Chain A
Amino acid sequence: MSQSNGQNTTPAAGATPTYTKKDFESGVDPRWCPGCGDFSIINQVQKALPGVGVARENIVFISGIGCSSRFPYYMNNYGMHTLHGRAPSFASGLKISRPELQVWVVTGDGDALAIGGNHFIHTMRRNLDIKLLMFNNRIYGLTKGQVSPTSELGKKTKTTPHGSPDYPFNAPALALGAGATFVARSVDIEGAHMAGVLKSAAEHKGSVFVEIFQNCPVFNDGAYLFLTEKAVKADAQLRMEAGKPLLFGKDNKKGIRFNTQTAELEVVTLGENGVTEKDVLVHDPHRQDPTIAFMLANLSDRAGFPTPIGIFRDVRKPTADEMTWDMIKAAKAKKGETSVRKFLSDAETWQVK
């Protein structure tokens, strides 16, 4: 019987202490399979947290059920390991109740988009300041290999032995449709890229959705080789960077152009047919209108197009937690303190002698 709860020593008291990665390690060995993409994700998260400028005790990780959702146990933070699909509900209550906390949700493709679909879209809609990280391995890993809402059409799994007849969700597109104000995607083995996305996610105020392509070596190995393999990487990945043209391919010779005739995005090659860099769409994640972001999200898994990674959208609107507490402050300012008796007497009353 283990008597340790995996706590490291407390950092010295004072204004936001200087943390190292180790301060965020609970000391419990992760129970993920060797080679699981989750190892590199937690590595990047633990590296990112010292830099977010929030005291460790004010950062909370809430997960659902799945391999992804083991995450909180390995973080030396307050954490909740909740129910399948329901992490956003707990996060919403905690954030509204304690708006000063930094609340992260760690979930998976099944947890967030199957059973958790309803809570997912509402959490994105409300623009509560919650940072939701979805590890997408396109399979149900914990239950050992069933089809997930992000599995490809035709995917053969233990429950779809003859192929899946279901079209998958495009997760960033769904998040954009639900109104998320920060939508991004990264990849488990792209450590530096993930670090940048996580930093922006931490800084964002509002609903954050980060899809992280994660490899499950046991039940869906190689799902993202089409994107990460050295030979194809340059042509397969479209790295979105704010203020920069959407170029990709070897030597950044290809680009994405918005065709004003067909109202579609298309791939163009610099130097061919008079195309120059000026014709390539400049990425702007801060556009209020999510339409272009939605079009970019829909390039994923489309033949002839690269798969975008990076930040699709990053806009600022009042968050539900901000607005809730503004209302509470206004109500308190208006009414002031009252005794219980006075509170109960705020009605038509009569005396009995």
Chain B
Amino acid sequence: MNKLTEAALAGSGLSSKEISRCKNYFALGIMYWLYSRPTDYQVENIKAKFAKKPDIAEANIKVFRAGHAFGETSEIFHQQYFVPAAKLEPGTYRNVTGNQATALGFATVAKLTGRQVFLGSYPITPATEILQEMSYFKDHGVVTFQAEDEIAGIGSAIGAAFGGAIACTTTSGPGLALKSEMIGLALITELPLVIVNVQRGGPSTGMPTKTEQADLFIALFGRHGEAPLPVIAARSPSDCYYTAIEAMKIAVKWMTPVIMLTDGYLGFGSEPFRIPEDGTVKAFDVKYQTTPNYNGQYMPYLRNEKLIRPWAIPGTAGLEHRVGGLEKDSLSGMVSYDGMNHEKMVKTRAQKVANVVEDVPDVELDGPATGDLLLVSWGGTYGSVKSATDQLRAQGKKVAHAHLRWLNPMPKNLGQVLRSFKKVLVPEVNNGQLAFYLRGSFPGIDPLQFNRINGKAIKVSELVAKVNEILG
């Protein structure tokens, strides 16, 4: 391709360094031919991108056309492909990566609620872009802080939450491990916080630029003590937008940290995103306690019937109180080492998280209500599993697909759905974490596993083959 690029630009007057940098457009030209794409869009794009350097723009266009012509005339390729336009709902679209969508979602919360969204974070692959994107959103009610480490990242977010901000922090696996102690503090002080984990190959430094979904266990269980938390996972780059908003809504409503899981594949992957009309995404209530709630005093842990505590923030006269990591009396919130109080508090906090199920929609079945095999997915494997299911059903197999958005609490109808199929298969990019969790949560359900831990999305063909092997 170097030689062909040079040939295309012979006599152009460009240096050999400049010429070699045009090579990518040759390759792109071939791709356009290979996939039968109209070239006008790309030519316009080059003109716009290199508007300040017209001679480079001209060179790139020339090389692009040369690559296209090469595809046409060379004997290397035996066929072209034509991908018909996807059947998309009418509307206005843009491209988003999952990380962009996450940032857009958090900023949308700031705009809809009129409250400050505070992000305390630290750069880490593959989550850094969320911090970067959000740092541009100062005019939308977003405040970002690049802290000195992962722990200060979440610490600053919790501090901001104490002050009344809708707070979040973003990281990947190693950062989530570092944040464990802090998450426990957010949990016991019952402050709203969203923790985004863009999962990557682990354990330890692992494979930072490769995707994986092996942080389900740490999300569900990764704190010392009895420390359950709501856990939600996005299923596509676009879905990161809606998941981010939902995670913040739940965190604020229930006064709890919420862990939002995505992964490198979603974070860096991109897809068309249908821009919602104004009014589609609903604002949610952000209410602060402004008056005493118990005999002229403010009891920070006096809960409502859903076990949610009232959020009083600094600056509110008369409601001065202290929050902290020590166990607290169930009414006054004062430090308490009383044994029975502690047991009550542990169970109360757990019940509050369990109560979040009222905001967890029933899991939807893509396919028949009963059958031979149910594929259960979560997170970024949605696409592969849906495609596999579509193919299997086209083959006449009695299979269905259930995708979990909420990992904790899980949907109320999940047990019944699992029991409606002869077999359950959980394809995951890990060594069987959801399978383990389902096995433990639903006595009698013993899911089969399809595990790929190779840093890539699951191959549809391999999954289809596995299901057919199981079905016999």
Contacts and interface: CB of A to CB of B under 8 A. Distances in A.
Interface of A: 1-7, 10-11, 13, 26, 28, 55-58, 60, 62, 72-73, 76-83, 86, 88-98, 100-101, 118-119, 122, 324, 327-328, 331-332, 334-336, 338-341, 343-345, 347-353
Contacts of A119: 148, 151-152, 155
A5 B152 contact: no
B300 interface: yes
Nearest to B107: A343
Contacts of B299: 5
B152 A89 contact: yes
B139 A7 contact: no
B190 to A, nearest CB: 13
B398 interface: no
Contacts of A2: 329, 332, 334, 336
A207 B318 CA distance: 28
Given A10-B318, A78-B322, 4 more contacts: A5-B333, A79-B320, A97-B163, A344-B276
Contact of A5 (B156, B278, B298): B298
A334 B140 CA distance: 12
Contacts of B120: 89, 93
Contacts of A13: 317
A93 B185 contact: no
Given A2-B334, A352-B88, A89 B156 contact: yes
B147 interface: yes
Contacts of A83: 155, 181-182, 185, 325
B158 interface: yes
A86 B185 CA distance: 11
A90 B162 contact: yes
Contacts, number: 227
B147 A92 contact: yes
A98 to B, nearest CB: 4
B104 interface: yes
B93 A96 contact: no
B323 interface: yes
Nearest to B161: A93
A188 B159 CA distance: 29
Contact of B278 (A78, A118, A339): A339
A86 B151 contact: yes
Interface residues of B, number: 76
Interface of B: 88-95, 104, 107-108, 111-112, 116, 118, 120, 138-140, 143, 145, 147-149, 151-152, 154-160, 162-165, 167, 181-182, 185, 189, 274-278, 281, 297-300, 313-326, 329-336, 338, 341
B223 to A, nearest CB: 13
A130 to B, nearest CB: 10
A96 B148 contact: no
B275 A345 contact: yes
B108 A343 contact: yes
Nearest to B338: A1
Contacts of B92: 345, 349-352
A4 B317 CA distance: 17
Contacts of A7: 297-298, 318, 320-321
Sort A-B residue pairs by CB-CB distance and give the 9 closest, nearest first: A89-B155, A81-B324, A93-B156, A93-B159, A90-B159, A10-B318, A97-B160, A79-B322, A94-B159
B296 to A, nearest CB: 9
14 contacts: A5-B321, A5-B333, A7-B321, A56-B320, A62-B159, A81-B322, A93-B163, A95-B159, A96-B160, A97-B164, A118-B148, A341-B275, A347-B95, A349-B94
A43 B183 CA distance: 34
A78 B148 contact: no
A345 to B, nearest CB: 6
A122 B159 contact: no
